Amino acid sequence: MRSHDKIVILALVLLFLGACNDTNQKKVTYITSGAISEYQLQYRNDQQEMVNLKVNPESASDKWKFEFMADQGEIVYISGNYKDIQSSLLIQILVDGKVYKQGNSQADTIKYLTVSGVVPYN
Amino acid sequence: MHSLLYLPILIFLLISDLACAQTTYLSGVVRSSGNNQPIAHVEIMNVQNDASTLTDHKGLFSIPVKENSVTVLILRHLGYETDTLNINKIPNEPLEVFLHEKVSKLTEVEVFGDANQNSTLLKTEITRIDLEKTPFQDIGSYLRTEPNMGGIRKGAMGIDPVIRGFKYSQLNVQINGGTKIEGGCPNRMDPATAHVDISDLQKITIYKGPYALKYGPNFGGLIRLVTNELSFNESYETHLNMMVGGQTNYQGYKSRLNVAGGNKLLAYSLSTNWNKYGDYSSGNGETMQGSSNNYSLKGQLGIQPVAGQKFYVGYDRSWGKNIDFPTLPMDERNDNTEIYDFSYLGTGFGEVVHFIRAHIYNSDVNHEMDNKSRPFSDTVVAISNIHAINTGGRFAINFDLGKGVLEAGSGFERISKDGTRSKTMIMQPNMPVLFENLWNNSLVNNLGIFAEYQYKTSRFDWIASARLDINQGNSDPMTRYSMKGDTIFMDANTKSNYTNLSLSAGATWHINDHQNLAVSVGKGVRSPDITERFITLLPVGYDNYDYLGNPQLKPEANHELDLNWTYTNSRLGNLTTGIFFSFVTDYISAVMVPTSEVKPQTKGVLGVKRFINIDQAYLTGFEINYVTPAQKFWDAAFSAAYTTGINPKATRYLIESGQVTGEETINNDPLPEIPPLEANLAFYVHLLKNQLSPGAKLRMVAAQNQVSKAYYEKTSPAFTTLELVVTYHYSDQVTLYGGVSNLFNTNYYEHLNRRVVGSLSPYMEPGRICYLNLIINL
């Protein structure tokens, strides 16, 4: 093989590798807690679909959790509402294990507690 | 494994192979025997070792030669007779070589660039070597260092060029013989220059003024970028070009790999680029957002089935990711641009037809922007997706008419733009999404015919050109609806038709062997661009208003006069001075629309402005360039330039507590976004027989106090920066360019840098940067 042919092959390999691009995903975790009775949740999942769910906790320390991998810049959203005036709700969104956003409400049966944002870029 | 990790290995292998090479450099200058002017782009080949180089814009060259043996240099240029030099002993002084102009009155015959040697055209050429020496990651960054050029800076990339105060669509930017790109962002975060990697450039040619009409509608200036690297060879050859550059501050790297080769029948070229930069520190240590990530792939193929008949096809794909634009409401998230082109150059049709040239292209830009890195995204996540297509072509025949050269032809361009913005209300139940049309299938077509005639005598060069453009635009109705579906704005009268005649003429008087005097007059007419016609309630201006397009605008016309005097002396150097006066009629500006007619739709803006024509505006200025003659150990260059622009009758809106409360007329208001007086001084020393060339570049920019009151433009302070540079030719194949820019860590910003959104602070320039670029040519 002639030397310039080697150069071409090597260069083509580099060109091919240059075309590759890896994505940088992050682990998103939704956590709800603090409620003593049934509450309604709506959240955006890893397929960017809205999911409606009823949660029945046994005590205020019961945690509901949902984890998924998301691209940077993806919208994360979770909203909850309870009808028991004695209840409360804490909603957290964690990104790579660290609290990214959170909110809480007490004895507010009317307003939805919404925590949302976008998965931050590095 | 990331591809770039292979590069150091490859570089090490190559350098270890080359380390034994011993090189001496022969330097000199090439001038025209007719007028003593330096000649750029003379191809110089050393027969002995196959080394070759091109002269730079000062006619200077440096080429590796073997000591103690006869050196044979061949000098070739399209407009000059080929010359062969036999050198028995390497001289201590730089060579001075004179080439004779070809008897036939050649005009350009390059396929992609241009070799137009008419001295009346106000032409500046920037070579690949000029670009390789810099740390810049953006074409606009380089262009704003040229005399009387500036750049509007909004973010990490995409600095929008300004020539003598003309900007945006007042300039014609094209690639490889006519390919044009329509950027996606309404706020021009991606002007045409942003879609071309600076490392791919072989040459930039800049024509100031409305004179070079054969390349397309030309209002205030023309920028021609050449990225083509195809060359046909007598026997099969393969060449490899690699570049790796890195820098401190603005931390990042640029890298490039190109393989090109071919024989008499076929030529090919494959390239890839990868550039990544982070945020940077300004002179006072403040962190400025400036991250960017770009990569590209490019392939070109040329076929020459018979001598004189060349066909070329090219494909260029580039991507931009996560590019910060802190002065705009959004950042660039993704850009995906594809360019296809086909070119033909035919010669050898007999004595009358000198050459036939054809070029067709399609550029396709998919541009995504969002506000996800902004505080506003806590409540509303806005994402804009724009699809912009530019399709066109050019056909020209060049006739040799004995005493002169006539080139005539036709050009076509079709721009289409469509796109939407989604607004997701992420704090509202069910996350409602509002979709808005940013462009409504907007379309602009331009068909032009042109003719240019050049005539030369021993004392005079004459040139005259004319261009007729028929321009037509339309769009679906310009609309904006509320969340509930109510109509906020609608304009269904979107058709526009224009017929524009542009004319130019000029002459250069070769007064004697040392002096030339050139006069040019021209009228360049441009139709309103797609933004000026169809934008719907977006803050795209310099000031803080939502803007409305106006399909009923009239074309804008630039009537310009240029006067240039050059003095060339092999002992004293070259001095070029020029002044210009530009009188613009139907100048496109904007006036406020009453809120009873339409309410602004962007948070925080003061109101809505609609594009209109105002009677007139004028711009004037000067340029001075001086280059020392090629010395043994050193050379130097000095340039200074200034432009001022005036709107004789401007309207200023009075603002109190964020509300417009009235208006007043301001006489002789300076036009906004004009760069201030600037002077540059460069000094280089040549050591070790030109292997090592350290130098220094001093840039002195005056304060800009001539600011538009109507646009509430802010003044900007003067600044001075010093850059140390060094070039080291290690061997025939390996060259290192390095330096320290902004050596004293000056905290400064350019007058044309926009303000950071949400603050009154300007977007500061980087502080001290140490950089190193390694170039390998095999």
- Contact between A15 and B424 using a beta-carbon 8 Å cutoff: no
Report ipTM (2 d.p.): 0.83
Partner residue opposite A118 with nearest CB, options B274, B295, B377: B377
C-alpha distances out from residue A60 to A31, A67, A80, B48, B183, Å: 13, 21, 15, 87, 54
Looking at beta carbons, which residues of chain A come within 8 Å of B319?
A: 21
Which of A13, A21, A23, A26 would best serve as a mutation to test chain B binding (most B beta carbons within 10 A)? A21
Residue B24's pLDDT is 79
- Contact between B424 and A117 using a beta-carbon 8 Å cutoff: no
Question: Which SS3 state, helix, strand or coil, does residue A111 take?
Answer: coil
Distant-in-sequence, close-in-space partners of A4: CB < 8 Å, separation ≥ 6: B237, B238, B261
Looking at beta carbons, which residues of chain A come within 8 Å of B381?
A: 75, 118
* Helix, strand and coil in chain A, % to nearest 5: 15, 50, 35
Looking at beta carbons, which residues of chain A come within 8 Å of B429?
A: 42, 79, 112, 114
Partner residue opposite A116 with nearest CB, options B261, B333, B427: B427
Residue position matching structure tokens 């669509």:
B169
- Contact between B426 and A77 using a beta-carbon 8 Å cutoff: yes
Nearest C-alpha neighbor of B191 from the set B337, B46, B401: B337
Q: Which helix (H) or strand (E) segment is B128 a member of?
A: helix B128-132
Nearest C-alpha neighbor of B126 from the set B18, B190, B41, B63: B41
- Contact between B10 and A112 using a beta-carbon 8 Å cutoff: no
Q: Output the DSSP codes for B443-496.
A: EEEEEEEEEEEEEE-SSEEEEEEEEEEEEEEE-S-EEEE-TTS-EEEEE----E
The model's pLDDT over A64-102, given as tens digits with 9 standing for 90+, comes to: 999 999 999 999 999 999 999 999 999 999 999 999 999
Provide φ and ψ at A14, rounded to 5°: -65, -40
Looking at beta carbons, which residues of chain A come within 8 Å of B1?
A: 17
- Contact between A19 and B297 using a beta-carbon 8 Å cutoff: yes
* Shortest alpha-carbon distance between residue B240 and chain A (Å): 7
Looking at beta carbons, which residues of chain B come within 8 Å of A10?
A: 10
With CA atoms as reference, the chain B residue closest to A73 would be: B372
Copy the structure tokens of residue B431.
């996350």
Partner residue opposite A17 with nearest CB, options B3, B240, B372: B3
Residue B8's pLDDT is 47
Give, in degrees to the nearest 5, the angle at Cα B42 between B36 and B44.
120
Question: Which SS3 state, helix, strand or coil, does residue B361 take?
Answer: strand
Provide φ and ψ at B5, rounded to 5°: -70, -20
Looking at beta carbons, which residues of chain B come within 8 Å of A91?
A: none
Residue B83's pLDDT is 84
Domains of chain A: total: 1
* Separation between Cα atoms, residue A33 and residue A45, nearest integer Å: 19
Partner residue opposite A15 with nearest CB, options B270, B378, B381: B270
Give, in degrees to the nearest 5, the angle at Cα B65 between B63 and B67.
150
**Does CATH place domain B192-777 in 2.40.170.20?**
yes
The pairing of beta strand B80-87 with beta strand B71-77:
antiparallel
- Mean pLDDT, chain B cut into blocks of 10 residues (778 residues total): 46 42 76 78 78 81 80 78 80 84 50 61 85 87 92 94 95 94 94 93 92 93 89 88 90 91 92 93 94 94 91 95 94 96 90 92 97 88 96 94 90 96 91 90 96 89 95 93 85 94 94 92 96 93 91 96 92 92 95 88 89 94 91 88 95 84 92 95 90 94 95 94 94 91 96 90 94 91
* Separation between Cα atoms, residue B26 and residue B10, nearest integer Å: 29
Q: Are B701 and B719 in contact (CB under 8 A)?
A: yes
Which of B12, B13, B14, B257 would best serve as a mutation to test chain A binding (most A beta carbons within 10 A)? B257
Copy the structure tokens of residue B312.
């070329």
* Separation between Cα atoms, residue B192 and residue B174, nearest integer Å: 8
Distance between first and last Cα of chain A = 45
B interface residues, A as partner, C-beta within 8 Å: 1-3, 6-7, 10, 237-238, 240, 257, 259, 261, 270-272, 274, 295, 297, 319, 322, 333, 370, 372-373, 377-378, 381, 424, 426-431, 778
Question: Which SS3 state, helix, strand or coil, does residue B17 take?
Answer: helix
DSSP A22: -
Domain range spanning residue A51? Answer: 22-118
* Shortest alpha-carbon distance between residue B251 and chain A (Å): 15
CATH code of A55's domain? 2.60.40.2880
* Shortest alpha-carbon distance between residue B198 and chain A (Å): 17
Copy the structure tokens of residue B633.
């150990």
Q: Is it the case that residue A15 has pLDDT exceeding 80?
A: no
Looking at beta carbons, which residues of chain B come within 8 Å of A118?
A: 372, 377, 381
Looking at beta carbons, which residues of chain A come within 8 Å of B237?
A: 4
Q: Are B258 and B267 in contact (CB under 8 A)?
A: no
Question: Which SS3 state, helix, strand or coil, does residue B375 take?
Answer: helix
Q: Are B393 and B363 in contact (CB under 8 A)?
A: no
Domain-located, residue A108: yes
Q: Are B778 and B760 in contact (CB under 8 A)?
A: no
Provide φ and ψ at B198, rounded to 5°: -60, -30
- Contact between B431 and A75 using a beta-carbon 8 Å cutoff: yes
Give, in degrees to the nearest 5, the angle at Cα B716 between B715 and B722.
165
Residue B74's pLDDT is 83
- Contact between A11 and B270 using a beta-carbon 8 Å cutoff: yes
Copy the structure tokens of residue B388.
């912009």
- Strand order in A98-106's β-sheet? A64-71, A25-33, A88-95, A98-106
**pTM of the predicted structure, to 2 decimals:** 0.84
* Shortest alpha-carbon distance between residue A47 and chain B (Å): 15
Q: What single letter denotes the amino acid at residue B580?
A: F
Q: Output the DSSP codes for A89-108.
A: EEEEEEETTEEEEEEEEES-
C-alpha A21: how far from its chain's center? 23
- Strand order in B60-65's β-sheet? B60-65, B24-32, B95-99
A interface residues, B as partner, C-beta within 8 Å: 4-5, 7-8, 10-15, 17-21, 42, 44, 50, 73, 75, 77, 79, 112, 114, 116-118, 121
- Contact between B426 and A8 using a beta-carbon 8 Å cutoff: no
Residue B81's pLDDT is 76
* Shortest alpha-carbon distance between residue A83 and chain B (Å): 16
* Separation between Cα atoms, residue B369 and residue B419, nearest integer Å: 11
Residue position matching structure tokens 């409504």:
B440
Copy the structure tokens of residue A9.
């092959």
The pairing of beta strand B734-741 with beta strand B769-777:
antiparallel
Looking at beta carbons, which residues of chain A come within 8 Å of B254?
A: none
Domain ranges of chain B: 24-103, 192-777
C-alpha B437: how far from its chain's center? 31
What is the CATH architecture of B24-103? Sandwich (2.60)
Domain-located, residue A99: yes
* Separation between Cα atoms, residue B27 and residue B686, nearest integer Å: 10
Provide φ and ψ at B57, rounded to 5°: -70, -10
Distant-in-sequence, close-in-space partners of B762: CB < 8 Å, separation ≥ 6: B714, B716, B749, B753, B754, B755, B756
Q: E strands within B327-431?
A: 331-347, 353-370, 380-400, 404-425
With CA atoms as reference, the chain A residue closest to B237 would be: A4
Looking at beta carbons, which residues of chain A come within 8 Å of B370?
A: 73
Looking at beta carbons, which residues of chain B come within 8 Å of A15?
A: 257, 259, 270-272, 297
DSSP B554: P
Partner residue opposite A11 with nearest CB, options B257, B370, B427: B257
Residue B3's pLDDT is 46
Distant-in-sequence, close-in-space partners of B609: CB < 8 Å, separation ≥ 6: B541, B543, B545, B546, B547, B548, B590, B591, B592, B593
Count interface pairs A-B at CB distance under 8 A. 79
